[in-house]
Chains A and B, each alone.
Chain A
Amino acid sequence: MIDEHQQDLASEYALGALDAGTIRAFEAELAANPELRALTGELREAAAALAHTAPRKLPPPELRQRILSEIRAEAAASKPASSAPVRSGGFGILPWALAAGFAVSTAAFWYERNELQKEAASLLTETQDLRGRDALARMRIATLAAQVDAYSKATAVIVWDPQNQRGIVKLANLPRAEAGKDYQLWVIDPKYPNPVNGGILPVGEDGIARVAFTPDQPVKKVAKFAISVEPAGGVPKATGPIVMIGD
Chain B
Amino acid sequence: MKNFRKLSSLFLLAAFFTAWELYCRLGGIPKTVLPAPSDIVQALISHWNLLLIHTIQTVEEALIGLFLAVLLGVGVAILLFLFPRIRAAVYPLLVLSQTIPIIALAPLLLIWFGFDLFPKVIVVVLYCFFPIAIAVTDAVSAADQNAVDLLASMRASKWQILRYVRLPFALPAFFSGLRISATYAITGAIVGEYVGAYRGLGVFMQTSANSHATVLVFAALVVVAVISMALLILVSILEKVYTPWKQAHE
Same complex for A and B? Answer: no
